[in-house]
């Protein structure tokens, strides 16, 4: 089944960590006109998130200034996005990404899909809280006003964070599979609702059984069935949920590959996935990427990015293990 229990990140707590010394070094790197970008990379990508938050606190005490504010002021372009992104706690970073995906002209649906299809109940609760604290706004209400149709209904269901956990009922799996199969045949509004309710609320373990039963009943893979029957963002979101249930690192490998190759290196997506998954499963994502696409993620980033931006992304990928 899902190999998430052995998933591995690329960033770990630094041994002999000294936040005060790091804050001093960063202060020096950010002084004056120039800016020692190599120093920023060597400190911020080589500390885990909780250590970076302690550095920010030490920095604030030492200089009376906000480290995120100073990074924003001193840096530019994608390099800035990476360095600033590293300074948010995971829930705050998700909140930050969702806010920016919705607040401009138009909505960045792929960002909503990536985040809401893949996060656990706990991650969703913390993200909603962070969103409210950071933006004085309600995540559910914002999603409701920025999206529409069955795509919206499914996101609204996911953002509840009410998926069953660890629960399986094999007898129910065949029934659920029948409902999914019928929903793919009939495609009425009511059927779309039944489809998303099962995909958003059943446990990963249960859905694993449901997808096997679906294959038995229909002779078809659930992803192929969804792709045939539905379209637009609704279809993309449903497929994302299925892929996350099956193998989350493989889902992110697919999203990275598509961001790099189908969208001419879609920077926002690449940055978001690398930062958000760095302490969860990025090393496993690199493995899946290499297995599936033949080229390493490391190689593809090297190919498309450049300068300190490239250096920072590769540092988050951890070392030049070309094999991944």
Specify the pLDDT at position 320. 58
Over the stretch 257-283, which tens digit does the pLDDT of each residue have?
999 998 788 899 999 999 999 999 999
Specify the pLDDT at position 31. 85
Q: ∠66-136-133 over CA atoms, to 5°?
A: 55
Comparing CA positions, the residue from 76, 53, 63 lying closest to residue 25 is 63
Confidence band of 319 (pLDDT split at 50, 70, 90): low
pLDDT exceeds cutoff 80 at 1: no
| Contact yes or no for 210/177 (Cβ under 8 A) | yes
Mean pLDDT to the nearest integer, 3-27:
89
Which residues have CB under 8 Å from 27's CB, separation 6+? Answer: 59, 62, 63
Domain positions in the chain? 1-87+262-323, 91-160, 170-246
Q: Which homologous superfamily is 91-160 in?
A: Annexin (1.10.220.10)
Specify the pLDDT at position 4. 47
Concatenate the DSSP letters of all residues of 101-157 into one string: HHHSSS--HHHHHHHHHH--HHHHHHHHHHHHHHHSS-HHHHHHHH--HHHHHHHHH
Q: What is the mean pLDDT of the chain?
A: 93
Separation of alpha carbons 6 and 248, rounded Å: 12
pLDDT exceeds cutoff 90 at 29: yes
**In 10 A of CB 120, how many CB atoms?**
13
Over the stretch 126-173, which tens digit does the pLDDT of each residue have?
999 999 999 999 999 999 999 999 999 999 999 999 999 988 999 999
Token couple for 11: 């960033």
pLDDT exceeds cutoff 60 at 324: no
pTM over 0.85: yes
Domain 1-87+262-323: which CATH number of 3.40.50.10790, 1.10.10.60, 3.90.550.10, 1.10.220.10: 1.10.220.10
Mean pLDDT to the nearest integer, 229-249:
96
pLDDT exceeds cutoff 90 at 13: yes
Over the stretch 173-220, which tens digit does the pLDDT of each residue have?
999 999 999 998 887 888 899 999 999 999 999 999 999 999 999 999
pLDDT exceeds cutoff 60 at 3: no
Confidence band of 232 (pLDDT split at 50, 70, 90): very high
Q: How far apart are the first and last CA of the chain?
A: 22
Token couple for 5: 């229990």
Confidence band of 7 (pLDDT split at 50, 70, 90): confident
pLDDT exceeds cutoff 70 at 5: no
Q: One fold for both 91-160 and 170-246? A: yes
Separation of alpha carbons 48 and 60, rounded Å: 19
Least confident of 102-106, 122-126, 293-297: 102-106
Tell me what percent of the residues of the chain surpass a pLDDT of 90.
86
Fold observed for domain 170-246? Annexin V; domain 1 (1.10.220)
Specify the pLDDT at position 2. 47
């Amino acid at each position: 089944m899902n190999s998430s229990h052995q998933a591995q990140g690329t960033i770990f707590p630094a041994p002999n960590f000294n936040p005060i010394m790091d804050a001093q070094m960063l202060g020096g790197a950010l002084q004056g006109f120039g800016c020692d970008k190599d120093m920023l990379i060597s400190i911020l990508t080589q500390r885990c998130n909780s250590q970076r938050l302690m550095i920010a606190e030490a920095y604030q005490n030492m200089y009376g200034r906000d480290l995120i504010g100073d990074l924003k002021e001193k840096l530019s372009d994608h390099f800035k996005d990476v360095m600033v992104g590293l300074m948010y706690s995971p829930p705050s970073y998700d909140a930050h990404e969702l806010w920016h995906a919705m607040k401009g002209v138009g909505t960045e649906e792929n960002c909503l899909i990536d985040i809401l299809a893949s996060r656990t109940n706990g991650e969703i609760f913390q993200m909603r809280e962070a969103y409210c604290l950071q933006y004085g706004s309600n995540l559910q209400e914002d999603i409701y006003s920025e999206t529409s149709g069955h795509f919206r209904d499914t996101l609204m269901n996911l953002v509840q964070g009410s998926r069953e956990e660890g629960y399986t009922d094999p007898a129910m799996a065949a029934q659920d599979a029948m409902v999914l199969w019928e929903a793919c045949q009939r495609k009425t509004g009511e059927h779309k609702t039944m489809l998303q309710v099962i995909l958003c609320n059943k446990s990963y373990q249960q859905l694993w059984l449901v997808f096997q039963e679906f294959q038995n009943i229909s002779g078809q893979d659930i992803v192929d069935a969804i792709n045939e029957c539905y379209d637009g963002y609704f279809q993309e979101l449903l497929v994302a949920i299925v892929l996350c249930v099956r193998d989350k690192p493989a889902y992110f490998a697919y999203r990275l590959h598509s961001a790099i190759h189908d969208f001419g290196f879609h920077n926002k997506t690449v940055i978001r996935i690398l930062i958000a998954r760095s302490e969860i499963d990025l090393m496993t994502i690199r493995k899946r990427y290499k297995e599936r696409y033949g080229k390493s993620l490391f190689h593809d980033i090297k190919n498309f990015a450049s300068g300190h931006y490239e250096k920072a992304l590769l540092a988050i990928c951890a070392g030049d293990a070309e094999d991944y």
